[in-house]
Structure 1
Amino acid sequence: MRPSISTLVYILAGSVLAKSIPPSSERRSLTRGEYALKEGPLDTDWTNKVGTNPWPEYPRPQLARSKWKTLNGLWGWRNASSGRELDNPPFGVPLDQPVLVPFCLESALSGVMGEYHIWSWYETTFNVPSDWSGHITLNFGAVDHTTTVFVNRRKVGEHVGGYWSFSFDITQYLNEPGQTNELLVFVYDPTTMDGTQIVSGKQNLQSKRFDHIFYTPCSGIWQTVWLEAVPTEYITQLDVSAAADGKVNATVHNSGTTSLPVDITIYEPYSTDVKAQAIGKSGNPFQFMVESPKVWSPNTPTLYNISVKMGDDIVQSYTGFRTVSRGVINGVQRPLLNGEFVFQFGTLDQGFWPDGIYTPPSHEAMVYDLLKLKEVGFNMLRKHIKVETALFYKACDELGLMLIQDMPSLSPWRGLTAVNDFTRELDILIEQHKSYPSIVSWMLYNEGWGQPGDNGKTEHLLTDRIRQLDPTRLVNSVSGWHDHVAGDFSDNHHYASAQCGMPLHQGTTVKFYDKTRIGIQGEFGGIGTNVSEANLWKVPAAVAAIDQTYEMADDIPTWNFRAHWLLKELEAQIATYACSAAVWTQTTDVEGEVNGLLTYDRRVIRMDIEQWKDDIQAMYKAAEGRGKQAAPMD
């Protein structure tokens, strides 16, 4: 039985998510000063509820263990003058400024709310619980951008990349049991500093240098930090892909060099009854069949819990059975989900928050956006040139929201292109996210940002690379323009009205729809309306840029009237031409952009809920009229 929306709200609110051992008082032994929430340009209804123990939920649901301890909370922080400070770390020195982890330094919730913090020191202390044995790992959800970690005055390691999770085995660096350990972290984040080119998405160090569609950057620790107890040889990664026909492909990665026996158990949905069991070897892909699984889809987001045992290590995970493919229905290229054409309609989801910037104030706040979209009938999101916490993807899995996952972009106005680093981080994106059933396609380039001007050579090479790393999903190589026919989609951006799968083109960049591929409206809409000062990002440059919004309505009823006709126009294109998917700009306002379905503080919902429900269902009905089933392409 499919869970009700009320049940999903209960699940997504975190009621069944594992809670960590709470922080203890020894964590503040080195740090002076008192934390204070800053008054930012705008807050949300969750801002003052955060407290000093934020994000207590277990942060890695597809590789979960029972023995873990959050290090989120108050740390010490100090601005650094340059990278040369790495030669003389401030061991044992109190860092005067308290910072609330995991909120980036530019955010009000961090307690710093600073600018141009290119180099930074973080410190905290921790104890390892006395009942833990074996090895201890130190885990970071994400730190922007380059991280150097020290434990008890010894360098543990480094990590490069602002969107990716990473871990260190710190067992050899720990003090004797019962003693306090010192953790020191150095972060370098140049973002868009002159002379640099790194993967940074919509962050802009000079936030109004380009135009109003780039926002406040996020520097430092911005996702959960935690400790975990593991055996000597332990599971480092679990790759699971489950198809609609019941075929499961799995790879269990091991911390050691020896391949070990692995036992996998899949349970019936919402039950402890065993559905299937299989045996394999770590480090080697293996396949097995599950009889008659219930498929995952937006209408039936069925998930199966998984238990994996390798030696003394046991982890919990989950999967959904679904097949993403491409096929021809009545002469038109279509994206297929479980062998059927499902029209994908979603929002451009930026993932910015006025109080936390890149980090939502809480799990409840994060899920609020998703529930509002699901309520009116959206079945998809385009996660726009940003990567979220693992709990975001789990929420989309549970709610049945298909995801187009963008690769975070290089800076669009830089002359050079850092192809090698972009490729390295693209690999990480795929490897760390390929087991989420909600992700149905990968997006490579957006509007040419960071795209080399080599007549499509790199575009084709990276598209092939994505397909090799993950053959289970579709690839949208170019969203907007500069398309060299590399991926599965013919993607067009057209504001405000849609121009999807039609024999029309505009100017020199937006070309005719390519009939050999799937027609998608990668962005459209973008209509806005101003709101009261109470709901605005109160930064003068942002307020001055409001009139740069693609199209403005004078009031919310007029905004809904205009949106209704734009959606009706899209419906006609679905019924008449080859439109298979569309992305409305956007979920929420962001700083100087006031074209969201919700305001930036999430306090005003612009949508006429019943009107939007009716219009979205009419589009799905038009798509059903074009046919559903097809044989997938090879």
Structure 2
Amino acid sequence: MLYAGIQGNYTLTSWSSTTFEVPSSFTPDRVLLNFGAVDYEATVFINAKDATFHRGGYFAFTVDVTSYLNANGSNELLIFVHDPTDSDPYVVPIGKQTLTPSHIFYTPCSGIWQSVWIESAPLNYITQLDIAAGANGQVNATVSSSGNSSAGILTEVIDRNANSTIATYQGLANTACIFSVGSISTWAPETPVLYDIFITLGDDRVSSYTGFRTISRGVVDGIERPLLNGKFVLPFGTLDQGFWPDGIYTPPSREAMVSDLQTLKNLGFNMIRKHIKVKTALYYQAYNKMGLLKTILPNPVQQAEFARQLDLLITQQRVFPSIFTWVLYNEGWGQLTTSYPEFDLTARIRQLDPTRLVDSTTGWYDHGAGDYSDNHHYANPPYDPARIGLQGEFVGIGQKVSIEHLWNVQEAIDTINQTYEIDQTITAWNYRGHRLLTELQEQIGLFACSGGVWTQTTDVEGEVNGLLTHDRRVLRPDIAQWQADISGLYGAAASRTNSSMPFG
């Protein structure tokens, strides 16, 4: 495992190097070098030979390094990284990173921020696995391979609780394999049941997992609703930035990631809106187990690169059953307004993944694309009779804390008063939270609001409106109060429906 480990400002370029030996236990066929993510452009050299180039700071990539390796002994791995962030004249997908942090824009992450590892593989190996499992028990799986497209595959579905095989299917690589599994338990936030999957292709065997669930939309008692397994389930969660005071994008441990999620689950949230970034596979794995659901305009070349990376996002993340909605644009960032690219991009998302909903524009420039009316009204209930009404960002109340819990950078501290609303005490903060959750409950009970996103999970640098402080040492919510208020939201949603839809 290798991380960049560079702590510097304005690090637009960097070099990382290490040496490694191929274990004697590896098969002699192929050796693969895997990167979880490198921000933003990576050129990889093995023993002074150019092995690959990759662009895109959030995406995994793999290179077959067999031909670059020394027959015996040590090998040198050298990586050159270019990460322009928001420096001129570059326009790249940066999320909330900036070279000049200020309030809602944060310290950038550069270089290797996810794991790097090697593995052995046979000549014909599995390169990608796409699985979609519906609430009706139907599995649609495509196994991509490095070689023979007509090679046979064996798929096994395992019940984790009973440790028994409940279904097998023989098919072909690079071809959709569709089969049914009987007597399954469906995945839902309150019952996040997962099944193990084993795929065998010749001498290659990989393991994965899935959850049987169907995500759709439909009219329930006259209102467009998001449906999970044919029923209206109110999604309510937090805006989750996923920044850490010690590692920026990289959390200190898996346990730290899980702790954030468990805190939200304990309070009663059933969803997270992952905000303008892509997390590690371990993070989404934790979602699955728990059941948690500045304007720089691109030129045509940059817009095409945005579309290419959108394809990578969908194809790499669609395997995780807990993801129920793809979010395309946030508050107009990078969204062209002289034309409406969100319509074509929404169609592309649906082509790549027809099993989920699409929130084409969360906030501001909404021209009618996608499944949601999500305009960040904050105070006023959203409504579009043709789409699902969603409070995609709701409130942003802050509370001042002592210096040991703050991001101790003066520029960040100077922007704290830009927070929408700041309370001096935890008691006042909880009072405001109760009043605002009551207002959201009324929007759900009286109008067509079908979900909400509380801003936000944690403080981030100069923003102090989190449920947790940036260091995760102070939890602001009165747990019993918040559990009751969030339960009231689900109760209001339940009171608006007396029917359900068949599985899509």
- Class of the TM-score when normalised by the shorter of the 2 chains: over 0.9
Match of 1:486 among 365, 369, 377: 369
Matching residue of 1:216:
107
Matching residue of 2:397:
527
Give matches, 1:349-368, under 5 Å: 349-368=240-259
Matching residue of 2:88:
194
Q: Residue type of the partner of 2:320?
A: Y
Matched, 1:141 2:36: yes
The alpha carbon displacement at 1:492 in A equals 2.3
The alpha carbon displacement at 1:628 in A equals 5.4
The alpha carbon displacement at 1:554 in A equals 1.5
Matched, 1:120 2:38: no
Q: RMSD value over aligned CA atoms? A: 1.3
Give matches, 1:116-515, under 5 Å: 116-133=10-27, 134-177=29-72, 179-208=73-102, 212-402=103-293, 412-414=295-297, 416=299, 418-456=302-340, 458-495=341-378, 498-501=379-382, 513-515=383-385
Q: Residue type of the partner of 1:166?
A: F
Separation in structure 2 between the aligned mates of residue 351 and residue 534 of structure 1, nearest angstrom: 20
Per-residue CA distance 1:581-633 (angstroms, 9 max, x = gap): 10000000000000000000000000100100000001101111111543369
Is the contact made by 1:263 and 1:310 (CA closer than 8 Å) also made in structure 2?
Answer: yes
Separation in structure 2 between the aligned mates of residue 180 and residue 472 of structure 1, nearest angstrom: 46
Q: Residue type of the partner of 1:569?
A: E
SS in 2 for 1:570: helix
Is the contact made by 1:246 and 1:289 (CA closer than 8 Å) also made in structure 2?
Answer: yes
Q: Once superposed, which parts of structure 1, at least 4 consecutive aligned residues long, lie more than 4 Å away?
A: 414-417
The alpha carbon displacement at 1:271 in A equals 3.4
SS in 1 for 2:80: strand
The alpha carbon displacement at 1:414 in A equals 4.6
The alpha carbon displacement at 1:286 in A equals 1.6
The alpha carbon displacement at 1:272 in A equals 2.3
Could you list the runs of 5+ residues in structure 2 that have no partner in the other structure? none
Could you list the runs of 5+ residues in structure 1 that have no partner in the other structure? 1-70, 73-100, 104-109, 403-410, 502-512
SS in 2 for 1:499: coil
The alpha carbon displacement at 1:493 in A equals 1.1
Is the contact made by 2:216 and 2:228 (CA closer than 8 Å) also made in structure 1?
Answer: yes
Residues 306 and 337 of structure 1: CA distance in aligned 2, closer, same or farther (over 3 Å): same
Matched, 1:544 2:410: no
Matching residue of 1:38:
none
Q: Residue type of the partner of 2:375?
A: N
Match of 2:470 among 586, 600, 620: 600
The alpha carbon displacement at 1:416 in A equals 4.3
Is the contact made by 1:336 and 1:632 (CA closer than 8 Å) also made in structure 2?
Answer: no
The alpha carbon displacement at 1:347 in A equals 0.1
Give matches, 1:530-609, under 5 Å: 530-609=400-479
Per-residue CA distance 1:199-237 (angstroms, 9 max, x = gap): 1100001223xxx11000000000000011111110000
Per-residue CA distance 1:311-353 (angstroms, 9 max, x = gap): 0000000000000000001100000000000000000000000
SS in 1 for 2:375: strand
Is the contact made by 1:342 and 1:628 (CA closer than 8 Å) also made in structure 2?
Answer: no
Task: Give the percent of matched residue pairs that are identical in Structure 1 and Structure 2.
Answer: 55
SS in 1 for 2:428: helix
The alpha carbon displacement at 1:194 in A equals 1.2
The alignment's TM-score, normalised by the length of structure 2, stands at 0.98
The alpha carbon displacement at 1:413 in A equals 3.5
Separation in structure 2 between the aligned mates of residue 415 and residue 386 of structure 1, nearest angstrom: 18
Q: Residue type of the partner of 2:472?
A: R
The alignment's TM-score, normalised by the length of structure 1, stands at 0.78
Q: How many residues in Structure 1 have an aligned counterpart in Structure 2?
A: 502
Q: Residue type of the partner of 1:386?
A: K
SS in 1 for 2:168: strand
Q: Residue type of the partner of 1:217?
A: P
Separation in structure 1 between the aligned mates of residue 82 and residue 148 of structure 2, nearest angstrom: 32
Per-residue CA distance 1:361-418 (angstroms, 9 max, x = gap): 100111110000000110000000000000000000000001xxxxxxxx62457472
Separation in structure 2 between the aligned mates of residue 556 and residue 281 of structure 1, nearest angstrom: 59
